[in-house]
């Protein structure tokens, strides 16, 4: 494969939410901006992957969606198909796409073997071809005591040892080492590189799409990510604005595309009675809203945390604690470092407690007041690592061709 035709395949299992897709998309955009002869294809199960826009030389294949039930089992998102048939279909689409696309590098997001092992065959096929295989991990996965048995049950170690060339952690060890406490062998640990967090920016030429919503600046941006589990945060913030201790800023609520329609309707009805509060369901360019906000209230997922750091926003994080403690771990470490403030959901959700926390926000120091070297160097390092891997791949192809010619 010549230098004018380099390809990267990014896989994201995406059962629910926006986090994995948004991370993969921003990585793809950074790569094509850096390398003018590179194409990136994203494989995802996200039902709203087509709602986002993509730069030239970035495209996607949507595999049939699945959703995780409360009992931990999976079911089809839209199709009336047995889950085993669905998983077989997904695995087949993934393998066939990888076979035809023939990438130089494949980056797998978070799940080393994919959903229920669906990328294992694809990884094995590409490994035999000399494709460089990378596992990309967010800064926090889960508590080590929970992650260790989960990875053992999924039989992840052989893939980390024998298939993957590198493991990239999109964070810094002084905030969290997601796999540092689960006892991985030394030969696997040697594959790990911490890149720093992935910085965000306002896309050029994109109009502020929520300007039609009547909320005057300065405003507080309240975001729940996908919104599927954001009901309690929105309810708590609204109760603060409904109380006799109304916070100092106006508020713009982004409910999230996965919030149940009847729940959205109830919130819109409450918002209609509050002159200083506005609500929208979804904005594909959340960066615009974040950049203009005076402060942020969020649950503290990975992407939102990167945006808070990138746009240097005073933030109050109310972390989700189930089914994973990922957000709580991240928020606790960031609070200890002085990057954000945190409010724990005690189940009672007293309106005055939230109002007090919001009234303190204007006096809070912004994240830039804390100096952490390399904090937002994620794309500098990802681009550097990709350059090295593409060079390795080119040399390997040249050697194979020379052997064939002999």
Domains of the chain: 6-199+376-405 (3.40.50.2000), 219-369 (3.40.50.2000)
Position 406 scores a pLDDT of: 56
DSSP string, 188-212: HHTTEEE-------PPTT---TTTT
Position 395 scores a pLDDT of: 86
Position 2 scores a pLDDT of: 45
- In 3D space, the residue among 24, 30, 21 whose CA is nearest the CA of residue 9 turns out to be 24
What distance in Å separates the CA atoms of residue 252 and residue 207, rounded to the nearest whole number? 17
Give pTM, 2 decimals.
Answer: 0.93
Position 68 scores a pLDDT of: 72
Position 65 scores a pLDDT of: 86
Helix-, strand-, coil-residue percentages of the chain, each rounded to 5: 40, 15, 40
User: What is the length of the chain?
Assistant: 406
What distance in Å separates the CA atoms of residue 7 and residue 98, rounded to the nearest whole number? 11
Position 145 scores a pLDDT of: 85
Alpha helices in 6-109, H assignment, sequence order: 19-34, 83-101
| Cβ neighbourhood burial of 307 (10 Å; 0-12, 13-18, 19+) | buried
**Residues paired with 250 in a beta bridge:** 219
Judge contact between 6 and 36, C-beta under 8 A: no
What distance in Å separates the CA atoms of residue 222 and residue 287, rounded to the nearest whole number? 13
Output the tens digit of pLDDT for each of the chain's 406 residues. Answer: 444 689 999 999 876 668 889 999 999 999 999 999 999 999 999 888 998 999 999 999 999 988 777 666 778 888 888 889 989 999 999 999 999 999 999 999 999 999 999 999 999 999 999 999 999 999 999 888 889 999 999 999 999 999 999 999 999 999 999 998 888 999 999 999 999 999 999 977 766 554 456 688 999 999 998 888 899 999 999 999 999 998 999 999 999 998 999 999 999 999 999 999 999 998 888 899 999 999 999 999 999 999 999 999 999 999 988 878 899 999 999 999 999 999 999 999 999 999 999 999 999 999 999 999 999 999 999 999 999 999 988 888 788 788 766 5
Position 1 scores a pLDDT of: 42
């Amino acid at each position: 494969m010549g230098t004018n035709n380099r390809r990267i395949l990014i896989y994201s299992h995406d059962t629910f939410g926006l986090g994995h897709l948004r991370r993969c998309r921003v990585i793809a955009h950074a790569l094509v901006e850096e390398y003018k002869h590179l194409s990136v294809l994203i494989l995802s199960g996200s039902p709203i992957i087509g709602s986002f826009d993509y730069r030239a030389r970035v495209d996607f294949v949507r595999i049939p969606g699945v959703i995780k039930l409360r009992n931990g089992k999976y079911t089809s998102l839209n199709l009336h198909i047995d889950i085993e048939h669905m998983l077989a279909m997904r695995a087949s689409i993934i393998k066939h796409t990888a076979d035809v696309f023939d990438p130089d590098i494949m980056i797998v997001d978070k799940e080393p073997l994919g959903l229920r092992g669906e990328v294992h065959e694809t990884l094995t096929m590409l490994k035999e071809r000399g494709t460089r295989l990378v596992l990309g991990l967010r800064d926090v996965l889960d508590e080590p005591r929970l992650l260790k048995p989960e990875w053992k049950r999924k039989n992840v170690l052989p893939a980390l040892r024998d298939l993957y060339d590198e493991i990239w952690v999109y964070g810094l060890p002084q905030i969290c080492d997601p796999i540092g406490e689960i006892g991985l062998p030394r030969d696997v640990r040697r594959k790990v590189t911490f890149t720093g967090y992935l910085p965000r920016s306002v896309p050029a030429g994109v109009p502020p799409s929520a300007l039609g919503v009547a909320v005057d600046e300065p405003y507080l941006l309240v975001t729940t990510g996908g919104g599927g589990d954001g009901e309690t945060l929105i309810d708590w913030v609204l109760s603060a604005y409904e109380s006799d201790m109304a916070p100092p800023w106006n508020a713009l609520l982004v409910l999230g595309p996965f919030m149940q329609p009847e729940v959205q309707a109830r919130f819109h009805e409450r918002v209609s009675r509050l002159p200083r509060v506005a609500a929208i369901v979804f904005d594909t360019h959340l960066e615009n809203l974040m950049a203009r906000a005076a402060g942020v209230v969020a649950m503290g997922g990975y992407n939102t945390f990167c945006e808070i750091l990138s746009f240097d926003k005073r933030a109050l994080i109310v972390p989700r604690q189930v089914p994973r403690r990922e957000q709580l771990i991240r928020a606790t470490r960031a609070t200890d470092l002085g990057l954000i403030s945190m409010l724990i959901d005690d189940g009672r959700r007293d309106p005055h407690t939230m109002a007090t926390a919001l009234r303190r926000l204007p006096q809070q120091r912004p994240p830039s007041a804390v100096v952490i070297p390399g904090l937002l160097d994620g794309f500098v390092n990802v681009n550097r690592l990709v350059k090295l891997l593409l060079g390795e791949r080119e040399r390997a192809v040249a050697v194979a061709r020379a052997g064939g010619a002999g």
